[in-house]
Amino acid sequence: MNSPQTEESIVAIWTGRLLGALVVLSLLADAGVNVFLPHLLAENLAKIGFPMGLAPIIGSVLFVCVLLYMIPRTSVLGAVLITAFLGGAICAHLRIGEIGSPPQVISALLGIAAWASLYLRNDNVRGLLPLLTRTRI
């Protein structure tokens, strides 16, 4: 028999789901542009030093990462891969001298949001990352 969930835990779960949905939608949009409309990214890719031919590959890799994140059994692996992908994006912009640029900030926020979403909706993640502890007096 399952123990009843508190209102606080229900709110946390739904907040985590909504946050995760925002991450998924944002990254799927990015992957879709890379795969289906790479010409829209031509200027940015050239600026960073990536050839246009890599855009569909980048988009496909991102799509696989997001797909793994969306599946509950593989969501932690997906979050690790998404974090690695976004870290690469941050590094690529850093390489060309863009420090604190909007792409870097967005990438960092998406990575934080991916993990925050898991933290709010997954007991196992909360057990691994005990950010908040309650003390009883």
> Which pLDDT belongs to residue 4?
61
Residue 2 lies in a domain: no
**Span 13-23, pLDDT tens digits:** 999 999 999 99
Residue 94 lies in a domain: yes
User: Quick one: average pLDDT of 102-120?
Assistant: 95
Residue 72 lies in a domain: yes
Q: Buried b vs exposed e over 41-59: b needs ≥16 C-beta within 10 Å?
A: beeebeeeeeeeeebeebb
Cα(80)–Cα(111) distance, integer angstroms = 9
Residue 56 lies in a domain: yes
Residue 115 lies in a domain: yes
> Mutual orientation of helices 102-121 and 75-95 as an angle, nearest 10°?
170
Residue 129 lies in a domain: no
Residue 39 lies in a domain: yes
pTM of the model: 0.85
Residue 137 lies in a domain: no
User: Quick one: average pLDDT of 91-109?
Assistant: 92
- Which range marks the domain in which residue 42 is found? 7-124
